[in-house]
Amino acid sequence: MERLVGKAAPDFSMKTALGDGQGFGEVSLQSYKGKWLVMFFYPLDFTFVCPTEITGYSKRYNDFKNAGADVLAVSTDSQYSHQAWINLDPSKGGLGKLNFPIASDLTKSVSKDYGVLIEEEGIALRGLFIIDPQGILRYSVIHDLNVGRSVDETLRVLHALQTGGLCPVDWKPGEKTL
């Protein structure tokens, strides 16, 4: 697989379900020009680990906004499925209202471009990407379907990338860089 980190992020354009569950939109890489983007892929709507991640990122959305970043969740489900999941009560397996949209990669082209597509299943691995304000991919982590990501670690890495410096192991915001 071709290396993506350090290069221009693969372009994308996708339909979305808005986080309030009331409408639809569209996003593209260009939509986020001039700000940091944390984009994460998850396998499927109406599953078990995925809602813990999506709602976890939504609860910490203001931390991302305060860092000059936006958040976008992506799966290969349709925007209609995303909307239904947002509008389903959390006590019944739904997400509830979110602070960011969920994009639909129904064609699976974006998942493929970012190297997370499991082609034989038509779903995405758990991939997380941080793209800088100039559209350069600065961070990528891809892993198995069964393990959720850490919002704290994503924020730590975002802040570290924003320093522009050399950040040692376990560096935290406010600490000196090398």
Residue 84: name the closest of 75, 92, 74, 94 by CA: 94
Known active-site residue 167? no
CA 81/CA 47 separation, integer angstroms: 12
- Domain limits of the chain? 13-163
β-pairing verdict for 69-75 and 36-41: parallel
Mean pLDDT of the chain: 96
More confident residue, 2 or 35: 35
Share of the chain above pLDDT 70, in %: 99
The token duo for 159 is 């802040």
Q: Is the pLDDT of residue 1 over 80?
A: no
Confidence band, pLDDT 50/70/90 cuts, at residue 177: very high
Tell me the per-residue pLDDT of 135-165, one tens digit each, with 9 for 90 and over.
Answer: 999 999 999 999 999 999 999 999 999 999 9
CATH topology assigned to domain 13-163? Glutaredoxin (3.40.30)
Catalytic residue chosen out of the listed positions 50, 123, 124, 167: 50
CA 24/CA 19 separation, integer angstroms: 9
- Provide the whole-model pTM: 0.96
Return the pLDDT at 124. Answer: 97
Residues across the chain: 178
Contact (CB, 8 A) for 24 and 106: no
